[in-house]
Structure 1
């Protein structure tokens, strides 16, 4: 009897730490194999350090802490369990952040087949609490566009609307059966956006979520209705209103494609012309 209790206790500890069975370890091995195959064994250059932030560990830790708190607060709006951060996924997420920071490229689909990733880039000077702000910005995709996401819809309707306004990222955040998360943060002076280089100082934030969200036929049971009272209390709709007012404060003019491409090649940045309403 005592032996059985010990076994149950050990299993409980394992599930508390990892949130899954030993499949997590298998998937981690598969993930690193993908990296090894893609980089022909030369992937260690992206592992085990904080690209651009070695001398700023306090900021690195602060952003990670804010991000975890922010994403779990969002999950609380949907009455789902908080994600548990684990070092193994931190290492994965940090390696992705390092890769993006060093290469400038956000294209990682060729060697990411295992985990659900959330990739974000924010200007360093934009906001001190960038780790707190990013999860709310990602979540707000649910409320963009002509029609907000319908949390009471059936599986088929949810599936059709997941890629509208980048809502696939929002879905990864609140997916009920997701249990673990890893977070990586890096800093860079150059990124590639729409095949054009952009210069500045940017934070790269990557979250790796496990098990990977978005399972066909499981949308209804994993995307739960939201608690509007909690969201009002946390100021989400005030944030949303401010964002909408900001978006309405200017008019964007479209250039002919050939002119935009010419200017982007000259300036090496994404060009837009903005004019105040007044």
Structure 2
């Protein structure tokens, strides 16, 4: 799984550079919510959407649409292309994590540690929009059901979502990757995790600001929007108040050591991270 497309017209088009065909199966074309105008598709690229939602087909600003069951179409394609007999392409190599100046870790260092220390069948529930680009540079997700994220962009999904995924998949490791801004909108989920003794790991990325909103402010020409900084929050103390074991780690070595432990109850690991942008 290579990740999620960006949310602006121009960057989506850039992501398709070098491709002759874009096949969209059971998804809208596309979720644009950043004003970054440009070409919808690169020159010479064709797009075909397969959806069972006629209204989604009508909303698509470009390409061709086939209103049909996407699953049935996939079955026909697999048979026609003899895909099962073709060797899989080699996986993309993961680059070395970027580092940050100062004591804070770059988010890529955090995600690199997760990739290397957590079991391959770990399921991740992610609500840390400002680290999106760093996440996809470092993560290597090859199993179904490994990634959950708030497609609609509403704040507060991450923590309760992570608790829910962990409760429904007790035989699979579950990690919630949550930004400090997002955590404030669903923090009481920690109480639920403690009461039900859910073996969940929460990695809390603390950069002291609403990073995604700060980035949006720049896109909208409002770089000095007030109320975006949230300094002084200690989520280890907050978690302990809800009955969740918590620790602060200050280095990659400490983070790796913490992740190597197998939790029997919920735990929160707080990491100070440098501010990054979603793309």
Q: Same fold (TM over 0.5)?
A: no
Using structure 2 for the length normalisation, give the TM-score. Answer: 0.20
Higher helix share: 1
RCO higher in 1 or 2 (8 Å CA, sep ≥ 6)?
1
Using structure 1 for the length normalisation, give the TM-score. Answer: 0.20
